Structure 1
Amino acid sequence: MPTPYRKTKIPLLWLRRRTSDREFMLISSVLVGLTAGLAAVILKSLVHYIQVMLAYGNRLLSQPYWLVVFPMVGILLTVLIVRYFFKGSIGRGTANVLFTISQKSSMLERHKMYSHVLTSAITAGFGGSAGLESPIVVTGSAIGSNYGRDYHLNYRDRTLMLASGAAAGIAAVFNAPIAGVLFAIEVLLTDISISAFIPLIISAVVGALCSKIILEEDILFNISKTEFFAAEHVPFYVLLGILCGMVSVYYTRMALRVEDLFEEYKTSFLKRALIGGALLGLLIMLFPPFFGEGYDAIRVLERGEAEQLLQESWLAFFGTNEWLILCFVGALALVKVVATTITIASGGNGGNFAPSMFVGASTGFFFSRLLNMLNLGNLPTGSFAMVGMAGILSGVMHAPLTAVFLIAEITGGYTLMIPLMLVAATSFALVKYFEPYSLDTKKLAQKGHLLTHNKDKTILRIMKIRHLIETEFQPVSPEATLGEFVDVIAHSRRNLFPVVTAEGKLDGVILLENVREIMFKTEKYDKVKVKELMIKPPAIVQYDDSMADVMKKFDESGAWNLPVLEGDLYLGFVSKSSIFTKYRKLLIKTTNVS
């Protein structure tokens, strides 16, 4: 008896047989965008109603100790769900999607279509200091990926559907379709043609419409008021861009440092969750704006009412004068990364997208309010807070176009377009000098698993020596006689012979052309040994060498085949021809859209 899922597949399979590839991709982009958009709506609604339920009419959250308890409970619940329902791992963040694109043919596991919605909703709903955007990117990507798998799309089209799902998710979360498209292009797709824009745009628009129609205004994050850009503020925006670049570098390095501290608790998931939850709770006691995603705090900063943030903190005991408020906002910018990384590293599910915006708003407000208090300018703190969001988002995520258009769409207009572009570009240029990779991709790049816009480097990173080793070369013992060696030659189809000891170590190599003359002198068959004929190989390739190192050895040695060793042990040979063949295959595979 056919399952309901099978019944839903049949019409689309019938449709695919009766439409062109291009037509089917356009139809698919609508379906993927709709599904990813609905997933984003469900996630935002879950977080909203969990927090409403926990607040219990604001009676619970008004008690400070609940600010400690709820985040710890959320992290523990997330850890337990992941461990017992999803085998201990669900693959967090954009880096996981990029790894899947480069190493797993863009095939994300099916459970990621719902596991991230559930776990991130619990984490953020209970007050975890992380964003929902990374989980919805993974969810949308999984929806697109599994759609492509079910309808037998090739790698390029499947990757496009994956990116379309991510674009729809971002578009739905912020009601920002342009930002969704640009995010997919800047972060996920490393090679794209004009024809790929249409499915991305369709998916992003459909996703944005889902949230626009279904979600209430107080659930979506938007800013209704922006101040006009004044040309005399350009020098201050340049300085803000430099400051945002410096804070972005700090954000990236501090996040990785805190993450490393939790590595020692990797095997003890319960201890890690308890320690992380307790530390997060204490931070929230001092900085209540860290509770949840933090968008309410951003709205407060945009309105220039930062004193409201301090009044909710224990630090208000020391007073609420202007300088204390300013220092409090500066501390928010610097400590938020610690709270977010603790949330994620201790077992919660979330990302750095919303926290980057939080830090950006705090940085922009701090910078403009400081200059105003020093009588160095009369700057609009709300505008600088909004532009600061673009600066930090650009620096941390390495996505300047996404940052610019996201803030422009959130604010409902393009009056701040010039300062947004100026600050985002300045911040990105500075960060790129110190940190070539974004926070989400740095560790992935260090492992060589990251697709980049440099196609040659990308393919070389993907290629692994272990997949290219040729073992049909006939080994010969160094103690073998010339006669025995001639017998080996008679049964071999190659003209290169490794000289290998009984222990499996490589002593040298013999080229057929170097022994062609002596091999016909039968009187020397019992007198000459192989070790007298062998030569040292022009270069040695180790099993764990990167492909870039291997190609360098080929260039320097001029050889066509090089032996591969693991330590001292002989494994086989790698040849230029096999590398070039693999390169051509990967070049076709990693070209997303034609």
Structure 2
Amino acid sequence: MPHYKKHKIPLLWLRRHTSGREFMLVSSVLVGFTAGLAAVVLKSLVHYVQLLLAYGNRLLDQPYWLVVFPVVGILLTVLVVQVFFNGSIGRGTANVLYTISQKSSLVERHKMYSHVLTSAITAGFGGSAGLESPIVVTGSAIGSNYGSDYHLNYRDRTLLLACGAAAGIAAVFNAPIAGVLFAIEVLLTDISIAAFTPLIISAVVGTLCSRFILEEEILFNIGQRDFFAAGHVPYYVLLGILAGIVSVYYTRMALRVEEVFESYQTKVYTRALVGGALLGLLIMLFPPLFGEGYDSIMVLERNNADKLLQDSWLAFFGTNEWLVLGFVGALALMKVFATTLTIASGGNGGNFAPSMFVGACAGYFFSRIINLLQISNLPVSSFAMVGMAGILSGVMHAPLTAVFLIAEITGGYTLMIPLMIVSASSFAMVKFFEPYSLDTKKLAQKGQLLKGNKDRTILHIMKISHLIESDFQPVAPEATLGELVQVIAHSRRNIFPVVNAARGLEGIIYLENVREIMFKTEKYDTVRVRELMVKPPAAVQFNDSMAEVMKKFDESGAWNLPVLRQEEYLGFVSKSSIFTKYRKLLIKTTNA
């Protein structure tokens, strides 16, 4: 009997004595509970680290510590990653999507804790990034490894991965519906009605963890203040258009900054110092960029934006309303740079919370400028909240998540109509200019993004290396017809690759093409293989994706194609073996 750890024995017994559906329901509770605890630990670590640093800042009474702390945090994060995790931990939601499509939803075990540790250091020391992407990776790793430990198939393992992510998001925001919708909109490539129940259970359990354990000041909750007025609909539409424009700016500017830092890929500490120094400079000019930014969001929601100026050098000029408005608008633009510098320089975090920060600033800016110009009298609090949904929808390409997240954290659904208007308007505009979200654009450019297409998903799971057939007998181009006949006599194949001394493929010989001449013994010593070979209709490269391979089969009409590594001959791949493998994977990914 295989050796199992004692804590696994009860669940192994349960799996043997229950149906697959019942076991998944129990598993969703355990995954949701563990991911919820991970979210609680992460939020608590960041909260208490920042309390400690705030005490030190008051003790020293030196504002430059707000500049130094983020640099220290990024350097510590890079050091931890280099020393303990071999220089890479795979950041962001895009990494989870890549794992689903390219690695059969098998997430590395260390990601169950590495992202909690590194993101707590980054955000705790004031890095201008969110904790949501790290908790998504953590929850996904918990669900994936649970599925691997109990030998679940690809479909169930992927569902538990999504359950972990849903529980993490739900726990961070105290928003179970948003957690479920995030898993469906962002992570899952295929969803059935049966999958909703485990997702809901995990999200609810994760939410209960945060409600029972976390203190009120750690949770991000905003009380509903204003109500929806039908007369404000045109302004909500305009805010949605503005949110779409800002979202496009956010996506494109973030990608450009990342490209600049890619040249420092091997110089990790130099990258951390340069990025940290630039981030520190931005925070010196705009102190609200320090940390995730939820405190600033609450200030804007309460229409107390002048408080954001208190620690800024602009406070020297007073708190003129237009000055405050300009400062808030600048914060929306600069937050993109601050967040991207934090992540690109080696810190760990995501764009979820920064998107909400930018949205709150955009909503406040829009409503206040309308009010100051006396065009209308708009509720600033509502527009700040709805603006968060607009930018979140545009940057993350998750409008349903955005709508229900803001509805849940505001404790009511009175803003549901404006939330839907702004999110839909923003999303429609962004999709026109940017078909993919910030997190998935690079994956899409590499052809590694799979959403809602089971055929493509299965094709991406399949690898050429597992399909190469090497029992085709090669012949040398200078071999005689007689030598070729001897090879044919001892082969079960009807195709023969012509391979030179350097393992290069020069051509192929089809049995039907030489069937007539092979019986003319008088030509055995005079006719060479080089004279009989033909060029293959196409050749497959070892690193081709399966989609590219199938395209070559369709265009050539062949049933067997040679596989090369550069010019080196490796073997053949057949259409029939691909179909056989496809059927097996289809059964594996759809059946319990």
TM-score normalised by structure 1 residue count:
0.94
Relative to structure 1, the CA distance from residue 456 to residue 321 in structure 2 (aligned partners, 3 Å threshold; closer, same or farther) is same
Question: Which stretch of structure 1 is more off in the superposition, 300-309 or 312-321?
Answer: 312-321
> 2:312, 2:588 → 1: CA distance?
54
Specify the code of the residue in structure 2 equivalent to 1:438: S
> 1:504, 1:288 → 2: CA distance?
63
Contact 2:244 2:394 in 1 (8 A): yes
Contact 2:499 2:507 in 1 (8 A): yes
Contact 1:54 1:61 in 2 (8 A): no
Deviation (angstroms), 1:533: 1.9
Name the SS of the counterpart of 2:64 in structure 1.
helix
> 1:587, 1:313 → 2: CA distance?
59
**C-alpha offsets along residues 522-565 of structure 1, whole Å, 9 cap, x if unaligned?**
12222222222222222233334333333222222222122233
Give the number of equivalent residue pairs: 590
Question: Which stretch of structure 1 is more off in the superposition, 462-471 or 365-374?
Answer: 462-471
List structure 1 runs of 4+ shifted beyond 4 angstroms: none
State the Cα RMSD in Å. Answer: 2.1
Specify the code of the residue in structure 2 equivalent to 1:244: A
Relative to structure 1, the CA distance from residue 196 to residue 310 in structure 2 (aligned partners, 3 Å threshold; closer, same or farther) is same
Q: 1:167-186 maps to which residues of 2 (within 5 A)?
A: 167-186=166-185
Contact 1:542 1:565 in 2 (8 A): yes
Name the SS of the counterpart of 1:56 in structure 2.
helix
Which residue of 2 is the match for residue 367 of structure 1?
366
> 1:124, 1:203 → 2: CA distance?
26
Deviation (angstroms), 1:282: 1.2
Q: 1:123-202 maps to which residues of 2 (within 5 A)?
A: 123-202=122-201
Q: 1:435-446 maps to which residues of 2 (within 5 A)?
A: 435-446=434-445
- Does the alignment pair 1:33 with 2:32? yes
Specify the code of the residue in structure 1 equivalent to 2:487: V
Contact 1:448 1:461 in 2 (8 A): no
- Does the alignment pair 1:450 with 2:449? yes
Which residue of 2 is the match for residue 539 of structure 1?
538
Deviation (angstroms), 1:406: 0.4
Which residue of 1 is the match for residue 308 of structure 2?
309
**C-alpha offsets along residues 234-281 of structure 1, whole Å, 9 cap, x if unaligned?**
222222222212221221121122122222222222222222222111
Deviation (angstroms), 1:295: 0.4
Deviation (angstroms), 1:62: 5.8
Deviation (angstroms), 1:162: 1.6
Relative to structure 1, the CA distance from residue 544 to residue 245 in structure 2 (aligned partners, 3 Å threshold; closer, same or farther) is same
**C-alpha offsets along residues 36-78 of structure 1, whole Å, 9 cap, x if unaligned?**
1111111111111111111118615963201011111211222
Contact 1:404 1:417 in 2 (8 A): yes
Q: 1:431-580 maps to which residues of 2 (within 5 A)?
A: 431-580=430-579
Question: Which stretch of structure 1 is more off in the superposition, 518-527 or 9-18?
Answer: 9-18
Contact 1:34 1:210 in 2 (8 A): yes
Q: % of aligned pairs identical? A: 82
Contact 1:290 1:336 in 2 (8 A): yes
Q: 1:70-469 maps to which residues of 2 (within 5 A)?
A: 70-469=69-468
Relative to structure 1, the CA distance from residue 579 to residue 497 in structure 2 (aligned partners, 3 Å threshold; closer, same or farther) is same
Question: Which stretch of structure 1 is more off in the superposition, 85-94 or 122-131?
Answer: 85-94
Name the SS of the counterpart of 1:452 in structure 2.
coil
Relative to structure 1, the CA distance from residue 71 to residue 57 in structure 2 (aligned partners, 3 Å threshold; closer, same or farther) is closer
Deviation (angstroms), 1:124: 0.9
Name the SS of the counterpart of 1:59 in structure 2.
helix
Which residue of 2 is the match for residue 48 of structure 1?
47
Specify the code of the residue in structure 1 equivalent to 2:469: E
> 2:473, 2:425 → 1: CA distance?
59
Name the SS of the counterpart of 1:562 in structure 2.
strand
> 1:308, 1:562 → 2: CA distance?
69
Specify the code of the residue in structure 1 equivalent to 2:291: G
> 2:488, 2:243 → 1: CA distance?
67
Contact 1:54 1:60 in 2 (8 A): no
**C-alpha offsets along residues 122-179 of structure 1, whole Å, 9 cap, x if unaligned?**
2111111111111111111222222222223222222222211111111111100000
Question: Which stretch of structure 1 is more off in the superposition, 399-408 or 299-308?
Answer: 299-308
Question: Which stretch of structure 1 is more off in the superposition, 106-115 or 129-138?
Answer: 106-115
Contact 2:162 2:183 in 1 (8 A): yes
Deviation (angstroms), 1:362: 1.0
> 2:338, 2:316 → 1: CA distance?
22
Question: Which stretch of structure 1 is more off in the superposition, 532-541 or 404-413?
Answer: 532-541
Specify the code of the residue in structure 2 equivalent to 1:414: Y
Deviation (angstroms), 1:322: 2.2
Contact 1:448 1:462 in 2 (8 A): no
> 2:457, 2:249 → 1: CA distance?
27
TM-score normalised by structure 2 residue count:
0.95
Relative to structure 1, the CA distance from residue 270 to residue 568 in structure 2 (aligned partners, 3 Å threshold; closer, same or farther) is closer
Question: Which stretch of structure 1 is more off in the superposition, 259-268 or 401-410?
Answer: 259-268
Contact 1:310 1:325 in 2 (8 A): yes
Question: Which stretch of structure 1 is more off in the superposition, 8-17 or 166-175?
Answer: 8-17
Specify the code of the residue in structure 1 equivalent to 2:238: L
> 2:378, 2:69 → 1: CA distance?
38
Name the SS of the counterpart of 1:64 in structure 2.
coil
> 2:567, 2:327 → 1: CA distance?
59
Contact 1:29 1:200 in 2 (8 A): yes
> 2:10, 2:540 → 1: CA distance?
53
Name the SS of the counterpart of 1:100 in structure 2.
helix
Could you list the runs of 5+ residues in structure 1 that have no partner in the other structure? none
